[in-house]
Amino acid sequence: MKRRALVAAFAGLLCLAAASDPAERLPDPAQEAQARAIFRDVRCLVCQNESIDDSEAELAKDLRKIVREQVATGKTDSEVKTFLIDRYGEFVLLTPQFSSGNLMLWLAPFFVVLAGAALLLVRLRVRPAEAELTPAEAAQLKKLQRDETR
């Protein structure tokens, strides 16, 4: 049991150490901090639910290298993200940007809720009118009411 915990801890440290390999870091601490901030918002396209800051996939390493190269040339965060989007598509971002292309994705849940509420209100307001009794039914009802009072 202790051996498993030790192996798991060692693997975790190994992954953490590999994600921040000192040989890969930029010499300027401000640029490295900028690159690390971008890493947290870029998706590993292999793992898909991890940022490239957390992933140890080869593609994540390549993406970290690309981001660092872009930051080293003096590009801003938005310029680096635009470069990555142009190259890999918007899926590369963990938090998609609000744009006209994905406007329906952002607004669809609100439309569904509003449509459901409107349908519910219409169904509650429009109730079927009570049907008139036929003469035979009216006579039978009177007979039942008389029998009940006796």
Segment 129-142 shows an average pLDDT of 85
Higher pLDDT, 110 or 19: 110
Confidence of residue 2 (pLDDT cuts 50, 70, 90): low
Segment 55-59 shows an average pLDDT of 88
* Triad 68, 80, 49: Cα angle to 5°: 85
62-68 contacts at long range (C-beta below 8 A, 24 or more positions apart) = 63/92, 64/24, 64/35, 64/39, 65/24, 67/35, 67/38, 67/39, 67/42, 68/24, 68/25, 68/26, 68/31, 68/32, 68/35
123: left (phi over 0), alpha (psi -120 to 50) or beta: alpha
8 A C-beta contact, residue 94 and residue 88:
no
Task: Catalogue the E-assigned strands of the chain.
Answer: none
74: left (phi over 0), alpha (psi -120 to 50) or beta: left
Q: How confident is the model at residue 29, as a pLDDT?
A: 86
In Å, how far are 15, 18, 84, 93, 105 from 11, measured between CA atoms? Answer: 6, 10, 30, 27, 38
Whether the predicted pLDDT of 115 surpasses 50: yes
Q: Report domain 2-96's class.
A: mainly alpha
8 A C-beta contact, residue 34 and residue 77:
yes
8 A C-beta contact, residue 93 and residue 81:
yes
pTM of the model: 0.56
pLDDT digits (tens, 9 = 90+) for 3-28: 554 444 444 444 444 445 666 788 87
Radius of gyration of the chain (CA): 32
